[in-house]
Amino acid sequence: MNNREKVWIFDTTLRDGEQALKASLNLQQKLQLAHAIARLNVDVMEVGFPVSSPGDFDAVHAIATNVKGPIICGLARTIDQDIIACGEALKAAELRRIHTFIATSPIHLQHKLRINLETAISMAHNAIKLASRYTNDIEFSCEDAARTPIDDLCRIVEAAIHAGATTINIPDTVGYAVPAELNSIIQQLQHKVPNIDKARLSVHCHNDLGLAVANSVAAVEAGARQVECTVNGIGERAGNCALEEIAMILSTRLNQPTKVGTALYSDINATEIHRTSRLVSQVCHMPIQPNKAIVGANAFSHSSGIHQDGMLKAQNTYEILSPQQIGIPSNELHLTSRSGRRVIQHRLTELGYREGDYDIEGLYKRFITLADQKGTVYDYDLEAMIYVNQLQASCNEPDLQPYSLTFLTTTTISHQLASATVSLSKGDYTTTEAATGNGPVEAAYQAISRITQQTINLIEYSLTAKGQGEQALGQVDIIVEYQQQRFHGTGLATDIVAASVDAYIHILNLIQRAQQISAFKNNPLTPIDTKRAS
């Protein structure tokens, strides 16, 4: 096929996607996700807003230093300090892009920025010129472009390209547009902006009306050649265009010549989609709805007898994609307590994991315990254990003495308060406390609170079954607030109370770790009294 054009995939999971989370990701989590997204073979990875906080600057710098493959991008307003922070954070990247933006719609100019279009054009011009000191790859976004008069949009786009922007992004910032509108905007820019051929046109669509993917497709059909998206469609409010959806639309429907005679494609490694989707869901504490396109649990399930009969006769009767295309294993290898480390490593390799993604010794210890409890360990068990081990390992740095559970017992009697006794160790000290509560989890949390003497406000508690049946693992995720900072803890066990306690202990260790990192220097937390636990 001769007439083919590439559509660039710009992933903003770690920037726009992370803004939607109830608790910020730590550096280790961001690096873990960045490596996974890089294996998707995205073209550009927007990884943060460096000027927003020391933590964000450090994360962008770490990803720029350690992650290879995609262009590493940082976001900046059209303000000198933003551009400078972005340029400095990205210096170590082999390929880097500065993405600067300013609002262009009358609503935003008048009510938010309180400036006119001329000032916005001048600010954009100056920011792009400053960014060019750090890189030749500069993206400019017209925030709220979908509600900007087309003539105003053409003026600022022309000025941005003249100043040196190589990518022009047209965001539907509030998810207001419908496909025909966005298609028309892209076409008019191509016809009315004289230097438009010197830049790549991009779209960034939000999902407030459920049209983010449809709007992105309409823009691509009109000539846009970059789509900004996130894994699982996470992002502000209702989210962004879903990476997995636009990637599979390109490979399934737009890969043939369209009415203008052009076949489109992306360089996405689709076999990494399933694993990356699961990882983003776990790390970001954002479950995937079962009926989610491409990556939902029901996406490749068939309940109707007519459908099942058709599938047995020919798979494509009811499936336009195969599970294997997005990396879903065709079968699962059931593991037991007799399985050795090599078998586990082999299965994890088949699932797409690399040896550096997990600690085999730590994983094997948890595997044996779980296998003794439930007999057979499944793929979803292994993936859940890897995630929780990685998350909790970030608390166990050499200079910390993490809390660990020594003893836990609970008693529940119908129509009476539950009771719990908990022993926690920290360094050389162990303390035991008992408490009551409306249920065993509350009682255990009250006992831990007595041990630590800390005021921790539980914001959210959620329980997710990892697997099926009575022996499914229970994953408990909690979000707490401690001295104006939010923390996300996770626990995993076949026993819900044990998983809940593990999640709470994870929080305690995260609080300790937070006291020692630079992001918290301007808001110091009260040191934990290690001598009290004696």
Looking at the predicted structure, is the pLDDT value of residue 377 above 80?
A: no
Quickly state the pLDDT bin for 309 (edges 50, 70, 90): very low
Mean pLDDT rounded to a whole number for the chain: 86
One of 3.40.50.300, 3.30.930.10, 3.10.20.740, 3.30.160.270 is the CATH number of 403-520, namely: 3.30.160.270
Phi, psi of 127 (to 5 degrees): -65, -40
Q: Tell me, what's the pLDDT at 492?
A: 86
- Separation between Cα atoms, residue 528 and residue 530, nearest integer Å: 6
If one compares 338 and 156, the residue with the highest pLDDT of the two is 156
Q: Which of 5-9, 387-391, 392-396 has the lowest mean pLDDT?
A: 392-396
Q: What is the DSSP string of 492-530?
A: EESSHHHHHHHHHHHHHHHHHHHTTSGGGTTSPPPPP-S
Determine how β-strand 8-11 pairs with β-strand 44-46. parallel
Whole-structure pTM value: 0.74
Q: How confident is residue 393, by pLDDT bands cut at 50, 70 and 90?
A: low
pLDDT at residue 380, as a whole number: 63
Q: What is the secondary structure of 365-394 as a DSSP string?
A: HHHHHHHHHHS-B-HHHHHHHHHHHHHHHT
Query: Mean pLDDT lowest for which of 309-313, 389-393, 513-517?
Result: 309-313
Distance CA 295, CA 283 (A): 16
Q: Which of residues 349 and 154 earns the better pLDDT score?
A: 154
Residues 198/161, Cβ–Cβ less than 8 Å: yes
Most confident of 265-279, 450-464, 501-515: 265-279
Identify which of 456, 455, 440 has the alpha carbon closest to the alpha carbon of residue 489: 456
CA angle (68 as vertex; 78, 172 as ends), nearest 5: 40
**Residue 55 gets which letter from DSSP?**
H
Q: What is the CATH T-level fold of the domain 4-283, as seen in this structure? A: TIM Barrel (3.20.20)
Q: Which of 155, 132, 141 is nearest to 108 (CA)?
A: 141
Determine the average pLDDT of the residues in 319-334. Answer: 71
Mean pLDDT of 378-404: 68
Q: Among 151-160, 249-258, 277-286, 396-405, name the one with the lowest average pLDDT.
A: 396-405
Residue 261's pLDDT band (boundaries 50, 70, 90)?
Answer: confident
Is the predicted pLDDT of residue 440 greater than 80, yes or no? Answer: yes
Cβ proximity of 137 and 166 under 8 Å: yes
Is the pLDDT at 48 greater than 50, yes or no?
yes
Q: Report the percentage of the chain scoring pLDDT > 90.
A: 58
Q: Across residues 288-306, what is the average pLDDT? A: 74
pLDDT in tens, 342-357: 888 887 887 677 777 7
Domain boundary assignment for the chain: 4-283, 299-328, 330-393, 403-520
pLDDT band, very low/low/confident/very high, at 154 (cuts 50, 70, 90): very high
Instruction: Give the residue, 231 or 400, on which the prediction is more confident.
Output: 231
pLDDT at 332: 46
Band of pLDDT at residue 87, cut at 50, 70 and 90: very high
Residue 230's identity, in one-letter code, is T
Give the range among 71-80, 227-236, 246-255, 470-479 with minimum mean pLDDT: 470-479
Q: Say which residue, 376 or 416, is predicted with more confidence.
A: 416
Give the residue, 257 or 5, on which the prediction is more confident: 5
